[in-house]
A = this chain, B = another copy of it.
C-alpha cells in the first residue's frame, strides 16, 4: 500500500526522525476543537529544508498524504490527517535565521513560535505584531492566514509575510517574494500560499515584516449599555482616524466568565478593551478622543492605564477568556465559531446571533476583534449530549449564513479545515472550482493535506 511503502522509505532515509509510537500518533491526531481523533500513520520531524524535500519526494512517489503540523492549535481540524498518511511536525525547524533591523524584517524557520520570536526580538526594539492568542507556530499561522487582536492596526498574516521558501508537492524547493517591501513581478505566490492550509506545499522558511516597539502604549476599558452602542463607538473611532492597536469586544456573557475566572469585577455589560500605540503625546490624544466618543455613545467606567502591569492584567484576561469561558461550564467542550462581516453589519450580526443562542438554548459567550468586524461565539456543549451538539452546530451554521447574507465571510481568521468545508461552495460559488483547478495544477496527485479546503476530486 502507498502509505506503508512511503513510511518504509522515510524510515530508511530519515531513521529516528520518523516515529509511529502510539502516543505520538495520538498527539498528532487530536484537535483543539471538537473534532474526533484521527491519528496519522506516522510522524516525521524534519530538521532541514532538504529533509522536507526528501519527505515530499518520497510521498509523491508513493502518493502518500502529507499534513504539516506547527503546534496543532488550529480550530477547524486543519492539521488532522483525515485520510491517514504522514504528519510533518516542524517543531525541530525552530531557528530564527536572520534579523534585518534596518529593514524591519526577520527570516525564520516555520516551527518558531510567535512568543519565541518576540522574546528573541525584545533586544532589538522590534516586534512581530500578529497575535492569535495561542502560542502558534509561524508556519501554521501563515498556513491559516491567522490574525488576532492587533490586526486592526498591523494586519493579518496576509499583510505580514513578505517571502517564503516552500517545498512543492513534487519535492521541489521554490522561493516566493523577496525582501523588498513590495513587488509587481507576477502572480503573488506568497499570498497564494498564505491561507492555503498546507494544501499546496510545505513552508520551510518565512520572511516576516516587523514593527518598531512604540514609544508609549496605553490600554483602556469601557462598558456600554448594548453591543450596538459599543460597535457604534468602534465605527466612530475608526472614522476619526484613531490608529488603535487593539479594539476588542466582550459581551455580557464573556464579561461574566472572566469576572468569575479572574475576579475582574467588571460591570455586567458589554465592554470594549483597547490599546493605543504611539508617542506619549499621541497615545494621550488617542485615548482622549476615544473617551469622548465613548461618552457620546453612552459608555461608562472608561478607564485608561499606561502602567505596564495594568495593561498586562487586561490582556492576560483577554487572552485567557477562552479558558474562562470553558470554565463557566465545567466539563464542557467548545465549538468555537468565527465569522467576519462589514463593520456596519457587525452589531446586527452579533445581536441576531445572541437572539439565536437564546432561542436555541445554547450557552455561547461572544467576543471579537471588532475593529475588523470579526467575532467568535464559544459554544459550550456537553460532548455526551448529541442533541445539544446538534443545536450548537445549527447555531454555528446559521451564523455563517448570516455572515454571508450580510456581505461577510464564513471565517475571519480560523480557516476552513474540515469544520467549514461545507460552506465553501456557498461563499465562493464558481471561485471554489477555481481553487480546485489551482490545487489540481500544483498538486496533481492530491497528496498535500487531502480532504481539506478545495472541492473533492471527482
Contacts and interface: CB of A to CB of B under 8 A. Distances in A.
A264 interface: no
Nearest to A239: B212
Interface string A226-250: 0000000001001111010000000
Chain A contact patch, size range: 35 or more
A409 interface: yes
Nearest to A424: B186
Nearest to A105: B342
Given A185-B410, A214-B241, A441-B441, A431 B195 contact: no
A337 B195 CA distance: 33
A269 to B, nearest CB: 23
A180 B212 contact: no
Contact of A182 (B156, B172, B215, B427): B156
Nearest to A407: B179
A270 interface: no
Contacts of A181: 340, 342-343, 372-374
Given A151-B182, A437-B442, A158 B191 contact: yes
Contact of A281 (B103, B173, B214, B282): B282
Contacts of A383: none
A135 B254 CA distance: 49
A444 to B, nearest CB: 9
A147 B182 contact: yes
Interface stretch (A86-94, A301-309, A412-420): A412-420
A419 to B, nearest CB: 12
7 contacts: A103-B342, A145-B188, A158-B188, A185-B427, A192-B192, A243-B243, A437-B441
Interface of A: 100, 102-105, 125, 144-147, 151, 155-156, 158-159, 168, 172-176, 178-189, 191-192, 194-196, 211-212, 214-215, 235, 238-241, 243, 277-279, 281-282, 285, 289, 340-344, 372-374, 403-404, 407-416, 420, 423-424, 427-432, 434-435, 437-438, 440-442, 453-454
What are the 5 tightest A-B residue pairs by CB atom distance, in nearest-first order? Answer: A441-B441, A191-B191, A183-B409, A102-B344, A179-B407
